[in-house]
Each structure stands twice: as C-alpha cells, then as structure tokens.
Amino acid sequence: MAEAASQRMGLFSNKIGLVMGVANDHSIAWAMSEALYAEGAELAFTHLPTPSGERRVKRLLEPRAPKLILPCDVQNDADIARVFQAVRDTYERLDFLVHSIAFAPPAEIRRPYVDTSRAGWHMAMDISVYSLVAVCREAMPLMPEGSTIVTLSYFGGEKVMPGYNVMGVCKAALEHSVRYLAWDLGREKKIRVNAISAGPMRTLSSAGISDFDQMRDHAAKKACLNRNVFPEELGSTGLYLLSHLSGGVTGELIHVDCGYSIVGL
Ligand code: NAP
C-alpha cells in the first residue's frame, strides 16, 4: 500500500528529498513526510545517533523502506558531510530538504532568558540555527536549480512568549538566517529557502516547554479559526513551499497557526 502510494504520479514524483528531524509519528517532519510520500516523493532521513532515537525512527520508517536512514548529530560537521556524501553516492542529486530540528537543554528553556548560561545559549544556537546554515552549504552542490529548502519556526521568534525564552531568540536568528540563505542560495543556484511558523503541536520537543498545554489552549482560544493547527496542515504547507507551486516565493515565513499571529488580543 505504502509502496503503491510512493510509486503513483504526484507533485513530487521523481523528486528526491532529505528529511532531518523525524523523531516519531508526532514530529512535524513526519507530517511533512507523509504528505510528500502521498505525492510520490523519494525520501532519505536522518536521526540523532542515539540507540533509542535510531530504534524509534527505524520502526516508524520500516513500512516505507527508505534507502537511506542516516545517523546525524548536527553539531558534528563530519556527520553532516557523511550524510550528503551518502545522498550523492545513492542519488547523485537532491531536490529538496526539510530541516525540522531544534534543541536547548530543557532547564535552559525553562529559566528566564536573562539567566541563560553561555554554554546553553551556544548549544541552542548551534543545534537550532547554525545547523540550517551547515546543511544548506552541504546541500547546495547537490541541488539542481529550482530546488527547495524548508525549516520550522515558531511565533516566539517574533514576539516574547513567556516560557519559550532562549528558543525564542534562536527562532528569531533562524528566521533571519532563512532570509540571508535565500539570498545566497538564490543568487548562486536559484535554490529557494523558506520557513513555516507552526502553531503549537504536542511533540517530543514541545514537552520541554513549561506550561505548553496552557500555551496550546490559549492559542486555540485566540486564533481566528478558534482551534489549533492539524499536522496535515503543516504537511500541506510543506508541500506548497517545497514544490514548484511556490515558484516565486523565497526568504518567506508562512504562519500556519490558524491566524493566531494576526490577532492583537
Ligand atoms: P520533534 O519531533 O522532537 O523533532 C525535533 C527533532 O530534532 C528530533 O528528531 C530530534 O531528535 C532532533 N534533534 C535534536 N537535536 C539534534 C541534533 N543535535 N542533531 C540532529 N537532530 C537533533 O519536535 P517537533 O515539534 O516536530 O520539532 C521540529 C521543529 O519544529 C523544531 O524546529 C521546532 O522548534 C519546530 N516547531 C515546533 C512547534 C511545536 O509546537 N511542536 C511549533 C513551532 C515550531 P531526537 O528526538 O532523537 O532527539
């Protein structure tokens, strides 16, 4: 069934993508992967090289049998280089990339921003922001003109969201990195780079944010659509940004948050 779906002609037939940041079936990257598979994409995946992470991801991906499931700690340049070498050896090119990775030690996210430690700040920025720069640089030589890259952000990068703290500052830096990367990769190779600002989703990462469920309840009450976003809606916006449908769009941040961010209440 899965194989049949991946073989039918779709928006992404004959397109090869790399998805970084699937932890389990609640991951935003998984919502995007399902949408991409439904449109015929061929996908390669990376996971953090921990035994439990590897087990989780391999179990989830088993029915799809992707050719590449590669360990990659984005803090490690050699891991990143190995991933793109493996993509080159297997496919010789890459048409799109999903970067859905962020991390800060939970204790750092929970403390007021003013109390962020130097080490915690560097780690959060390295994993959540610099990793996009590093993977864009490695992906560029493999990407034909017109290829696409998407990353994930949150409204806490634009406005102060109590409890989001150092991660909010990371998201601000990520969103501006998207603009500079859109310039560099656009000029060099006509590659487009965009970000989705997702409404709050229950995932492994969001479990590290204090009062997350209250944030979600509040978001649903305030949002224009009076609800929280569905994973499929992040998947379909991912399809749009990664496909030719968004041909003239680059350096953009699209809010998929049921209209939460436009309300001044
Ligand atoms: P998730 O399922 O936990 O995904 C985060 C991924 O980052 C996991 O696969 C995690 O691997 C990986 N990761 C962490 N450190 C890494 C490292 N050093 N090297 C490689 N991979 C690493 O959570 P998610 O909510 O889908 O998060 C995906 C993205 O969406 C993040 O950028 C997040 O900030 C953003 N976002 C989330 C929400 C939300 O409410 N959930 C809202 C807006 C934006 P392990 O699990 O193996 O550690």
Dump pLDDT digits (tens) for 219-229.
Answer: 999 999 999 99
pLDDT at 2 over 70: no
Is residue 164 annotated as part of the catalytic site, yes or no?
yes
pLDDT recorded at residue 265: 84
**Three-state secondary structure along 165-187?**
HHHHHHHHHHHHHHHHHHHHHHH
Pocket test for ligand 1, best of 52, 129, 205 (most atoms within 8 A of CB): 205
pLDDT at 162 over 80: yes
Amino acid at 128: S
pLDDT recorded at residue 7: 52
Task: Express each pLDDT in 63-78 by its tens digit.
Answer: 999 999 999 999 999 9
C-alpha angle with apex 199: 197 to 204, nearest 5 degrees?
100
| Alpha helix segments (H runs only) across 50-110 | 51-61, 77-91, 106-110
Is residue 113 annotated as part of the catalytic site, yes or no?
no
pLDDT at 122 over 60: yes
- How far apart are alpha carbons 16 and 43 in whole angstroms? 6
Rounded mean pLDDT, 225-241: 98
Say how many Å lie between the CA of residue 9 and the centre of ligand 1. 30
What tokens were used for 145? 């003109």
Task: Express each pLDDT in 198-210 by its tens digit.
Answer: 999 999 999 878 8
Task: Express each pLDDT in 38-54 by its tens digit.
Answer: 999 999 999 999 999 99
- Average pLDDT score over the chain: 96
Q: How many CA atoms lie within 13 A of 202 on its CB side?
A: 6
pLDDT at 107 over 90: yes
- How far apart are alpha carbons 18 and 55 in whole angstroms? 19
From 154, 180, 240, 260, the catalytic residue: 154
Amino acid at 33: S
Proportion of the chain above pLDDT 90, given as a percent:
94
Which residues, 6+ apart, have CB-to-CB distance to 166 below 8 Å?
A: 104, 108, 109, 113, 116, 120, 121, 124
Residues enclosing ligand 1, CB less than 6 A? 21-23, 27-29, 47-48, 50, 53, 72-75, 100-103, 127, 152-154, 198, 200-201, 203-206
pLDDT recorded at residue 183: 98
Let me know: does 193 contact 182? Beta carbons within 8 Å: yes
